Structure 1
Amino acid sequence: MNLEEMKQAVVDALEDVKATEISVLDVSGLTSVTSFMIIASGSSNRQTRALADNVQKKLKEKGAQIYGVEGEQEGEWVLVDLGDIVVHIMLPATRDYYNLEQLWGAAESRRQSAKASG
């Protein structure tokens, strides 16, 4: 499975369990840890766990390797590490607090500014 298919499979798995506010961020130019971050919201701890479970199930069915899962017990912020893609599934309040889209978007803006002036 190529990276585009993998991204689509994650988004589909999240949509299957009614995730909201799904964002796909290309962070390949910002970190060597991963290429993409996919961020989604769940309405309850139970739903965030169900979303993470579905992502794992659907991606394993397609042959992807799951490198790790964090936060399943609490369900406030569940991270699924697929290597080239890291999936963050959060409760809305947690997502608002950490604001990963702005954090990584601001880093990309700074990187682009540095390239333009350098």
Structure 2
Amino acid sequence: MTLSIQQIVDVARNAAEEKKAQDITVLNISGISVICDYFVICSGQTGIQVKAIAENIIDRLIERGVAPKRREGLREGNWILLDYGDVVVHVFREEERAFYNLERLWGDAQVVNNSVVSQN
């Protein structure tokens, strides 16, 4: 079973919520980048929580037949990147998120609500 972009975003968001991720944001970058269509960005208070959030996202998507194409930072737990092709998930420790400020860096991107992710 292949998940749609919407479903991948929803599963990632819900899995992050299960582990009490903070400030979950979805950015639609499809019109301004060829990297992917969506960023899911969230944060945790500690490295342990950041790892737990990322591992839960990985597990929930694998349960649905979707494995990350690439994952970075899992060992360190400061900024974990999970690449699902059209969707890239960033899980930060709060300090790293404030420092890198992807929302500002990708300021032209549309912030989307739960039900606004559309199929491309």
TM class, shorter-chain normalised?
A: 0.7 to 0.9
Task: Specify the alignment match of 2:96 in structure 1.
Answer: 94
Task: Specify the alignment match of 1:75 in structure 2.
Answer: 77
Task: Specify the alignment match of 2:118 in structure 1.
Answer: none
Distance 1:11 1:50 in 2: 14
In the alignment, structure 2 segments of 5+ residues that lack a partner are: 111-120
Task: Specify the alignment match of 1:63 in structure 2.
Answer: 65
SS in 2 for 1:65: coil
Percent of paired sites with the same residue: 36
Following superposition, the deviation at residue 38 of structure 1 comes to: 0.6
Question: Aligned pairs, how many?
Answer: 108
In the alignment, structure 1 segments of 5+ residues that lack a partner are: 110-118
Matched, 1:43 2:22: no
Against the structure 1 CA distance between its residues 97 and 66, is the aligned structure 2 distance closer, same or farther, given a 3 Å change threshold?
Answer: same
TM-score (structure 2 length as normaliser):
0.86
Q: 1:104 aligns with which of 92, 103, 106?
A: 106
Larger gyration radius, structure 1 or structure 2: 1
Deviation per residue, 1:38-64 (Å, 9 max, x gap) = 100111001111111111000011111
Query: Higher relative contact order by CA 8 Å / sep ≥ 6: 1 or 2?
Result: 2
Task: Specify the alignment match of 1:22 in structure 2.
Answer: 24
Moved over 3 A (4+): none
Distance 2:5 2:12 in 1: 11
Following superposition, the deviation at residue 65 of structure 1 comes to: 2.9
Following superposition, the deviation at residue 3 of structure 1 comes to: 1.1
TM-score (structure 1 length as normaliser):
0.87
SS in 2 for 1:60: helix
Distance 2:43 2:78 in 1: 10
Task: Specify the alignment match of 1:10 in structure 2.
Answer: 12
Following superposition, the deviation at residue 12 of structure 1 comes to: 0.4
Q: CA RMSD in A?
A: 1.3
Which moved further from structure 2: 61-70 or 41-50?
Answer: 61-70
